[in-house]
């Protein structure tokens, strides 16, 4: 897709972080915006900011893990604009700690948002896009699924997040191959940033009541959570830079989007180890900046076990 003016973009997780930057970029390019987020006040503020700048934007409070909510979002799109050109399956949350320490509620929350949110977007919106591509010879569409470098790597104490994002990468690759069979008018990408300066470390603010734990975090979960917050705060790329990279990838019809290319060396080493059938490499080896995290986790786990 080369020309964005007048095209329609649907963005989940649109009220903050990457989603908000996608919306701002789309508005600058003259796109019509449909914004979805589970946090109503943040969504209202985002819409007000964009409209004050002249953007054509509507919004709907949406829980992406709910098929009913996502269908309501699609119905809004059809009523307001009749079509969608860009679909950003972007909403995401995170939870940290050793994999055996996570509760059933932890797994349900992270998988429901990070994976089922993308599944629902693909399941509900792709047929609409394919139908429009058959009807309109000038139609162009693109689906962008937000994964993470955690979809290609397996950092310790991030297992629950890694699992969800690996699934998004696999789902996106499957979507790419399936779309190739049926149309050349709809493309897709998987976005895999590393640490980006957003508020994802505070995603528990939107955790649904029925999936809240009623026990305190373990010490190792607290250490892992704080380490993630520190890494996000020190991220080497901004959400605005990720948005710029993503829109350029859409123009180029690139599938893999890596805003943080410095992480690719770790991906290369992991893939080489897999092909050589080596055991997973020590995550902290030759990484003095994060090696202290291992000691903190060990100390915290030792105190958990007393």
Residue 89 has phi, psi (to 5 degrees) of: -85, 85
**∠ at Cα 94 (120, 285), nearest 5°?**
125
Q: Which bin fits 23, alpha (ψ -120 to 50), beta or left (φ > 0)?
A: alpha
**Dist. CA 306–CA 81, nearest whole Å:** 60
Question: Across the strands, what pairs with 37?
Answer: 61
Residue recorded with tokens 């948005």: 243
**Dist. CA 24–CA 294, nearest whole Å:** 38
* In contact, 13 and 92? CB cutoff 8 Å: yes
139 is catalytic: no
Crossing angle for the helix pair 17-28 and 239-252, to the nearest 10 degrees: 60
Catalytic residue of the set 81, 116, 139, 161? 161
Give the contacts of 79 (CB within 8 A, at least 6 positions apart). Answer: none
| DSSP assignment string, 71-99 | HHHHHHHHHHTS--SEEEE-------B-G
Residues annotated as catalytic are 161
């Amino acid at each position: 897709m080369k020309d964005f003016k007048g095209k329609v973009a649907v963005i989940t997780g649109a009220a903050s972080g990457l989603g908000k930057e996608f919306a701002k970029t789309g508005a600058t390019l003259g796109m019509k915006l449909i914004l979805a987020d589970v946090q109503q006040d943040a969504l209202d503020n985002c819409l007000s900011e964009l409209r004050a700048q002249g953007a054509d934007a509507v919004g709907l409070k949406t829980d992406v893990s709910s098929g009913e909510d996502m269908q309501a979002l699609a119905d809004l799109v059809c009523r307001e604009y009749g079509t969608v050109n860009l679909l950003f399956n972007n909403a995401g949350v995170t939870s940290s700690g050793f994999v055996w320490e996570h509760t059933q509620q932890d797994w349900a929350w992270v998988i429901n948002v990070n994976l089922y949110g993308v599944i629902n977007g693909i399941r509900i919106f792709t047929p609409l896009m394919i139908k429009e591509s058959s009807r309109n010879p000038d139609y162009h569409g693109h689906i962008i699924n937000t994964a993470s470098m955690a979809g290609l790597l397996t950092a310790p104490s991030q297992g629950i997040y890694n699992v969800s994002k690996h699934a998004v990468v696999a789902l996106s690759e499957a979507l790419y191959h399936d779309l190739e069979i049926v149309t050349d008018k709809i493309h897709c990408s998987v976005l895999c940033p590393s640490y980006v300066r957003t508020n994802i470390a505070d995603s528990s603010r939107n955790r649904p009541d029925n999936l809240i734990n009623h026990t305190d975090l373990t010490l190792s979960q607290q250490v892992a959570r704080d380490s993630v917050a520190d890494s996000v705060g020190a991220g080497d790329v901004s959400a605005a830079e990720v948005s710029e990279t993503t829109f350029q990838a859409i123009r180029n019809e690139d599938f893999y989007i890596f805003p943080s290319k410095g992480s690719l060396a770790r991906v290369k080493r992991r893939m080489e180890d897999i092909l050589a059938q080596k055991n997973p490499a020590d995550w902290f080896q030759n990484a003095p900046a994060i090696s202290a995290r291992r000691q903190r986790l060990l100390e915290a786990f030792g105190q958990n076990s007393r």
